[in-house]
Structure 1
Amino acid sequence: MPTDSPTPLASVANFTEGPFANLVSGYTTQAKSNLMLQATRACESACDRRLTPFTGLVETQRAEAMDVEDALDAYVPLDPTAQLGFSRAQSLGSTLLVRHFWVREFPARYPEMWSGAVTALSLARSYSGTQTVSPSTLQYEPDTGHVRFQLGTFVPPGTTIQVTYSGGYSTVPADLVQACQYMAASMAVKQLDPVDGRSGHDPDALRADALEMLAPYTRR
């Protein structure tokens, strides 16, 4: 299971140094921390993306098809590992091996601020057993989420791929910090003043501001 990181997009200090400080003046230290984490998760839900750093995220997907440029229709020089994998595929009557897949979480913007790594990967084939693949043999591109198998890795179409990886913004873009503050303010106003609006803040307008800032990060 993924670890629910306690690092929010915006810190309590970010939130209380600005015009929203009065909203949480009666909150305990723990309540303020909880609010910022809740606002972070609300931002992630709105975007349908993980944004704050995470570890141990496990995804399972089905290997499908392959790219034309990776087809081995012609004999080309192969290293020993690739030779063995290709020979094994031929012996089982399958020469179309999957070479690519994409993990779900990758940066929508500012990839230079994102850090990620594949930490484990296993294959469950519909025939010929299972296999653990060393992450060191994979080509992982954190900016796009693309993962390429080493040539010769035996991955027939239909194989179940289970990948464990980490990711998230190690440096949070400023617009995400602001969006989290707006989201937290909206949540605080609804908690403290849900009816008559005496706080002077409109929770719906604050949430709308947050969603506007999150729009470029929303999964398409």
Structure 2
Amino acid sequence: MPQDVMVPLATVVQFTEGPFSNLVSGFSSQAQTNIMLQATRACESACDRRLAPFTGVTETQRADAMDIEDAMDAYVPLDPTSQLGFSRAQSLGSTLLARHFWVREHPPRYPELWSGSIASIGLLRSYSGSQDVGISTIQYETDTGHVRFQLGTFAPPGTTIVVTYSGGYNTVPADLVQACQYMAASMAVKQLDPVDNRSGHDPDALRSDALEMLAPYTRR
């Protein structure tokens, strides 16, 4: 079965240098790689988050009304780009423009170990067409996933924001490595000994240990 092109949270070497090495000693090299990838996806599914490095994920967001703290700045002197954006909005009967949205994936812990970048942003407006936003004009905060448009960007409330970006832990926190190892061990035990449990390991207990370590990373 084809596997995701991804970097696992725990490598085969990390898994086999510890107490679980006997579990996969009879597995082929590809099978060992596959189980670490499957365990990584299981960890991400349990957390409802992407944790391993990913590239080119595309999400859609709905633009809401401009945040109240920006409203006070709406009528201060503006640069030419902002003036054009507001003028266009007013000509079409809109007086509010969205300036903020949040990408779904950002680091729940240890933001210093996370790397993220935005490749493209497109605005699909409910009226007046579409627009690509210049990446150099936005502010992107990788630790919170917050993105701020340049003042005057023509993004009326209700606009669909299409963002393509990359992110993930380039250096995986130690507790995530261990959680992935527990998850992989649980999967290996179930594959090797689904009924008699003669391996000496309880797959349910191993999975429970993995979920306990993943709890701080789980989306709230």
The TM-score normalised by the length of structure 1 is 0.96
Quote the Cα distance in structure 1 between the aligned partners of 2:13 and 2:74.
61
Partner of 2:172: 172
Q: Does the CA contact (< 8 Å) of 1:24 and 1:32 recur in 2?
A: yes
Question: One-letter code of the match for 2:135?
Answer: P
User: Are residues 168 and 216 of structure 1, via their aligned partners in 2, closer, same or farther at CA, if it must alter by over 3 Å?
Assistant: same
Q: CA offset at residue 64 of structure 1?
A: 1.2
Quote the Cα distance in structure 2 between the aligned partners of 1:8 and 1:110.
18
Unaligned runs of 5+ in 1: none
Partner of 2:5: 5
SS class of match (1:121):
strand
Q: Does the CA contact (< 8 Å) of 2:43 and 2:179 recur in 1?
A: yes
* 1:1-220 matches, cutoff 5 A: 4-71=4-71, 75-220=75-220
Q: CA offset at residue 46 of structure 1?
A: 0.3
Quote the Cα distance in structure 2 between the aligned partners of 1:98 and 1:18.
51
Quote the Cα distance in structure 1 between the aligned partners of 2:162 and 2:19.
46
Quote the Cα distance in structure 2 between the aligned partners of 1:25 and 1:4.
23
Q: Does the CA contact (< 8 Å) of 2:179 and 2:214 recur in 1?
A: yes
Question: One-letter code of the match for 1:193?
Answer: D
User: Are residues 70 and 19 of structure 1, via their aligned partners in 2, closer, same or farther at CA, if it must alter by over 3 Å?
Assistant: same
Quote the Cα distance in structure 2 between the aligned partners of 1:216 and 1:6.
23
Unaligned runs of 5+ in 2: none
SS class of match (2:180):
helix
Question: One-letter code of the match for 2:213?
Answer: M
**Deviations along 1:73-120, whole A, 9 cap, x unmatched?**
762121111111111111111111001000000000000000001100
Quote the Cα distance in structure 2 between the aligned partners of 1:74 and 1:24.
62
Q: Does the CA contact (< 8 Å) of 1:62 and 1:159 recur in 2?
A: yes
Q: Does the CA contact (< 8 Å) of 2:4 and 2:37 recur in 1?
A: no
Quote the Cα distance in structure 2 between the aligned partners of 1:33 and 1:74.
54
Q: Does the CA contact (< 8 Å) of 2:52 and 2:168 recur in 1?
A: yes
Question: One-letter code of the match for 1:158?
Answer: G
Q: CA offset at residue 71 of structure 1?
A: 1.4
Q: CA offset at residue 6 of structure 1?
A: 2.6
Q: Does the CA contact (< 8 Å) of 1:57 and 1:164 recur in 2?
A: yes
User: Are residues 28 and 74 of structure 1, via their aligned partners in 2, closer, same or farther at CA, if it must alter by over 3 Å?
Assistant: closer
Identity rate, percent: 80
Question: Once superposed, which parts of structure 1, at least 4 consecutive aligned residues long, lie more than 3 Å away?
Answer: none
